[in-house]
Structure 1
């Protein structure tokens, strides 16, 4: 035994790990969970953290993992397939159809110009035509990492932004097809036009068969499966891997099939729990492992000590940035966009993450791209994924939405024509300590709108309806409803209590609100700091994402009846600010309170621009035809959050707009300003979330689960 112990001690750690696959898998899970959180704290892209962790644990670092590990390669291949599948699944076909002519025009420019530029870079460096064209194709696609920024700024409906979003479908398809042809030619041996035509013909036939056949099969299967989400989920996974196998059978790279499968089942899957489950499985496990595996391939000494590699990296980065800028400038000339719109288009099309990295790895494994190009593209990803969103946040602030777009409907329109039902407010009750203030808030709004409130209690379902746990939950729910109904009657409003048995709180609340045709949901504050909340989101996340009507998430430090001064900070001068102002106005009229609408601009803003912002904001607020016009206040400050915090000391309530952009099944994208205010404000807070009207094509990196989805 002693001899065995000594041998084990002397045996290298890497060999021990190699013999125990469960150990590296456990380490991978720790990396996926911890590293994105650490890089988020450092305000660095989480994907960079995963690649960096692969570099540290790989041959260039501690040598714990090997790039030829069978387990890691298998999981990485699944992640690679998943990455391109989700890229096709997340394509926003509606936005493409809305601006398809101009989207095609911009897509042609931002595809052809970078393709030529990248090909020239490859030829200048002495690579062959096949490799050079593949390098050019890496320049063509882009990742919409800045979508949460433009959504928060309220400029998603600007034509230039919509065109950029719609064009992504063309660039992704083109990049994937060129990759398939280049790799297919490599596998076929020596190049000839006959082989190229044969491969292209098979690829066209295969693409049409997958897109049309899987689309028809998906819609038929989903129609006949009813509510069986398990079978739908398995059908989607089967579609992905069947398409990948089919691509390999015709001599094309498997990720081409995965991407086409995503496009094929896009409309059949739609937005719902099946899509969430499919994306979640990939984003939480397989896709992160792909990026860790990418880091294992990096040879740091070769990258740092090789002057030619550094020159190649600089040439690729400059070439990509320049080609995207040229494409944006040509788009400006063709469609007569303003400079601000042109620069926004350029910044949105800069980040090179998902498709680019996937294509680079495939080209490297096929022997088409040398290790130097792999290193350069990883550096390109780091630079563009940081630079693109940064420029977008600075440039897109002043964009306006399309003039022909209908403005968002008023949140609480008291002058709207009468309908069959009164204005209805659903109030989920769960915590007895916050229930009274929630009912008071809803009662003030209901009295002002001559409506009613529906106290709602959710009892968690069990397998058997006579289970003791369900019986206890029902009794507790009935007690809460009795208390809520009593409060409502004392406050002089109509209350219709509702008890619902459901599998989950969030789904139960959103479904009940829909069934009762609610106009507003008023909820209490929930914690977002626990492990389960970070991984799977909490009840508030689920309700905000799924509900059909506005949701007011409240943190009340005192009775709503005592609220006399209300502050409504607005980050941008666009239509979404009207809903929080109108919500505050209803509450103010019920309490005879005073409202201040606050906008914070840069300290360097000139007095003339401040005057313009004041008049523009006054005009927007006046369009609401409010009984008492709010006070308009403009503050010049270098830090928006700090300016609002200082102003909020004089107020009882702050109403914050909450733009509901889904980041994954794990959470919602919240602006940095809103997050900081929610943590530091000491007065009462209402975060008002609008109904979900648009879907994102790309997702933001905000927590360990969602950090990977944004790469698609």
Structure 2
């Protein structure tokens, strides 16, 4: 078969795409370049200017790229934190307007300067008006997400993306043909009605369906996909580009999904398959001669890049003056709003592919190539600046005066008030007799320290017939495990209440029982479902983290908790959750007269003053503890955080970690230190997860 005919076979084209997605991004990431750059380069190499193995006009590429494009905008809508937006709604709208209108004006002027029509110029302006929160994982890791300037910038995303897509819809409509004031009003009216139907209708339908479907994750996953494509088709029906519908669908089901396992699956499918296909197609569209010509007459590209960087800075500066932010907050807002990836690339491709009756494109190859350069520049520059200046942000004040788990692991002040007169309750699911003793001992130590009780829980798999002999055998085994749990608890002088639950789903059984018992903490053993299988099908741990109303401690104990003398707690940020993990370690150390070491691994480029400030803050936190526990702080400069934690943990009996998942707004997963640490640690582990983590 000739090389140029390979692209005609859908199966061969799809196989080539999978090979590229699987191999290229890791290679570029090892070269310290974004994996997306690798996909673009692969598209160029395999396209009409290279090996001609893939054709952007083939039905296979068109379908996968279209799905990737709407998936990209759908995930962008999903990743907007509506809770953060609600907290600072007025200021988020204010900054959103500024960081939208200033780049919009700058981009329009650039377009007009280079002799584009007013319609195309306004479209270019809208391309600069949105932003992608590519550096969100950085501010999350640093623990400064609660800083108002960061919260305002995150909330502003909903305004900038919506505004940019609205302008795109109008510009595409104008370019497509006769466009009168009446047709503009008709389009805007239809879009308003459509937006209300999607945002409120899909939200209501999603909540109803999820409530009725219970734990049927496969049907819930299909419902979300159906919502995405129905919204996209509906947008086309009213004459609006489908990515507008995809974005609105993401916003609509945002609250429905929360941080559920279904959301993990939705994002996972997009980030590993459809979204990469979109970027490969972007590479296929790059005409090398035209790209070189664009760069040789670099003024358009330079003007667009400078306009974006300058206008985003001006908008952040206005916000600084208006809201009285300091310089570090100004620079962080600027850097967070710089990256142009999700909405910008999707809208650019739509505009480039929009052709009127005269055969004219809305924007030419020069603009397309300039936007690709803009994406590369801002995707690198934004996170670098964020990492440099976000470390100087002021943190929200945290109450550090108490050392009770009921305080540090409570969901809210209201719930704490409700629980103040209740007995501290620890739920312990028991299943594996080999690890049951250590698990009960851990729960008993914590319950005794808090003057509380243990609820030993045995989940028995449900059968269709309740008189099934297999069910009777399973119930007897559960009773034996509970009797063993009672014996262990009595050794520690802790009250234990045995409980058996018959349930189809172990995770939901645990969560429901903990809610019924009004538990403060769930202590469970390690799940064997990890890696790719867990990402695809979910694990008991993931499901309990999501569905539980209280905090969860997952343990992998290699020896009795009573023998623990040295506890290591890696601290990478100063959030309430991290401080709670430290308090957890101190309480366990108080029981065993053990030592706690807080390990902070900082980047080699971190200024010594910032490292000293961070160490001083943790010293103050440790000193305020009312517990007589030896707490030391160790700071090491190294770029490989996981390697340092694994190496230092060799001298410890237990490591206390937090369960944290970071994602970019494009649905592209960011590597997690925790995953590697868990896989390679040789000591016992406690993994702490808060509700909906």
Q: Which category of TM-score, normalised to the shorter sequence, fits these structures?
A: 0.7 to 0.9
Matched, 1:207 2:197: no
Q: 1:257 deviation in Å?
A: 3.1
- Aligned to 1:422, the other structure's residue is in SS state coil
Retained in 1: the 8 A contact 2:271–2:668? Answer: no
Retained in 2: the 8 A contact 1:528–1:534? Answer: no
Specify which of 299, 315, 339 is matched with residue 327 of structure 1: 315
Give the corresponding residue for 1:516: 517
Give the corresponding residue for 1:653: 654
Find the aligned partners of 2:682 and 2:457 in 1 and give their Cα distance: 28
Specify which of 306, 313, 322 is matched with residue 301 of structure 2: 313
**Pairwise mapping of residues 294-443 of structure 1 onto structure 2 (< 5 A)?**
294-304=282-292, 307-308=295-296, 310-366=298-354, 367-403=361-397, 412-413=405-406, 419=420, 421-443=422-444
Matched, 1:496 2:497: yes
Retained in 1: the 8 A contact 2:137–2:663? Answer: no
Question: Residues 213-264 of structure 1, C-alpha deviation per residue, up to 9 Å, x if partnerless?
Answer: 3344345545665413677766655554454444434443232233334445
Give the corresponding residue for 1:148: 137
Give the corresponding residue for 2:118: 129
Retained in 1: the 8 A contact 2:130–2:340? Answer: yes
Q: Which moved more, 1:149-158 or 1:418-427?
A: 418-427
Matched, 1:22 2:11: yes
Q: 1:537 deviation in Å?
A: 4.5
Q: 1:600 deviation in Å?
A: 5.0
Retained in 2: the 8 A contact 1:446–1:493? Answer: yes
Question: How many residues of Structure 1 are paired with residues of Structure 2 in the alignment?
Answer: 673
Find the aligned partners of 2:381 and 2:467 in 1 and give their Cα distance: 58
Retained in 2: the 8 A contact 1:660–1:691? Answer: no
Question: Residues 402-458 of structure 1, C-alpha deviation per residue, up to 9 Å, x if partnerless?
Answer: 45x888997604898865642222233444433332222222112222222333444
Retained in 2: the 8 A contact 1:247–1:256? Answer: yes
- Aligned to 1:554, the other structure's residue is in SS state strand
Retained in 1: the 8 A contact 2:7–2:55? Answer: no
Q: 1:362 and 1:463, CA in 2 relative to 1: closer, same or farther beyond 3 A?
A: farther
Q: 1:594 deviation in Å?
A: 2.4
Retained in 2: the 8 A contact 1:240–1:261? Answer: yes
Q: 1:36 and 1:534, CA in 2 relative to 1: closer, same or farther beyond 3 A?
A: farther
Find the aligned partners of 1:555 and 1:164 in 2 and give their Cα distance: 39
Give the corresponding residue for 1:702: none
Retained in 2: the 8 A contact 1:429–1:455? Answer: yes
Find the aligned partners of 2:10 and 2:470 in 1 and give their Cα distance: 40
Find the aligned partners of 1:414 and 1:311 in 2 and give their Cα distance: 59
Find the aligned partners of 1:553 and 1:606 in 2 and give their Cα distance: 35
Give the corresponding residue for 2:545: 544
Q: 1:97 deviation in Å?
A: 2.7
Structure 1: gaps (5+ residues): 1-10, 190-194, 694-712
Q: Which moved more, 1:359-368 or 1:475-484?
A: 475-484
Retained in 2: the 8 A contact 1:597–1:630? Answer: no
Q: 1:89 deviation in Å?
A: 4.1
Matched, 1:67 2:56: yes
Q: 1:680 and 1:224, CA in 2 relative to 1: closer, same or farther beyond 3 A?
A: closer
Find the aligned partners of 1:600 and 1:232 in 2 and give their Cα distance: 40
Retained in 2: the 8 A contact 1:303–1:309? Answer: no
Question: Residues 264-308 of structure 1, C-alpha deviation per residue, up to 9 Å, x if partnerless?
Answer: 555566665665665555455433332332222123354246543
Matched, 1:691 2:667: no
- Aligned to 1:522, the other structure's residue is in SS state strand
Give the corresponding residue for 2:177: 188
Q: 1:464 deviation in Å?
A: 6.3
Q: 1:612 and 1:227, CA in 2 relative to 1: closer, same or farther beyond 3 A?
A: same
**Pairwise mapping of residues 660-675 of structure 1 onto structure 2 (< 5 A)?**
671-672=672-673, 674-675=674-675
Question: Residues 490-521 of structure 1, C-alpha deviation per residue, up to 9 Å, x if partnerless?
Answer: 44433334444444444443333333322222
Q: 1:679 deviation in Å?
A: 4.8
Q: 1:542 and 1:50, CA in 2 relative to 1: closer, same or farther beyond 3 A?
A: farther
Q: 1:242 and 1:579, CA in 2 relative to 1: closer, same or farther beyond 3 A?
A: closer
Give the corresponding residue for 2:278: 290
Find the aligned partners of 1:446 and 1:537 in 2 and give their Cα distance: 30
Q: 1:647 and 1:221, CA in 2 relative to 1: closer, same or farther beyond 3 A?
A: closer
Give the corresponding residue for 1:621: 622
Q: 1:344 deviation in Å?
A: 0.9
CA root-mean-square deviation: 3.7
Matched, 1:170 2:171: no
Find the aligned partners of 1:465 and 1:296 in 2 and give their Cα distance: 60
Q: Which moved more, 1:145-154 or 1:352-361?
A: 145-154
Q: 1:365 deviation in Å?
A: 0.2
Find the aligned partners of 1:285 and 1:636 in 2 and give their Cα distance: 38
Specify which of 241, 245, 264 is matched with residue 257 of structure 1: 245
Q: 1:94 deviation in Å?
A: 3.0
Specify which of 169, 181, 191 is matched with residue 197 of structure 1: 181
Q: 1:90 and 1:675, CA in 2 relative to 1: closer, same or farther beyond 3 A?
A: closer
Q: 1:62 and 1:470, CA in 2 relative to 1: closer, same or farther beyond 3 A?
A: farther
- Aligned to 2:522, the other structure's residue is in SS state strand
Q: 1:262 and 1:175, CA in 2 relative to 1: closer, same or farther beyond 3 A?
A: same
Give the corresponding residue for 2:357: none
- Aligned to 2:428, the other structure's residue is in SS state strand
Give the corresponding residue for 1:450: 451
Give the corresponding residue for 1:113: 102
Q: Which moved more, 1:432-441 or 1:275-284?
A: 275-284
Q: 1:252 and 1:610, CA in 2 relative to 1: closer, same or farther beyond 3 A?
A: closer
Q: Which moved more, 1:264-273 or 1:536-545?
A: 264-273
- Aligned to 1:96, the other structure's residue is in SS state helix
Q: 1:186 deviation in Å?
A: 0.6
Find the aligned partners of 1:560 and 1:268 in 2 and give their Cα distance: 39
Retained in 2: the 8 A contact 1:211–1:263? Answer: no
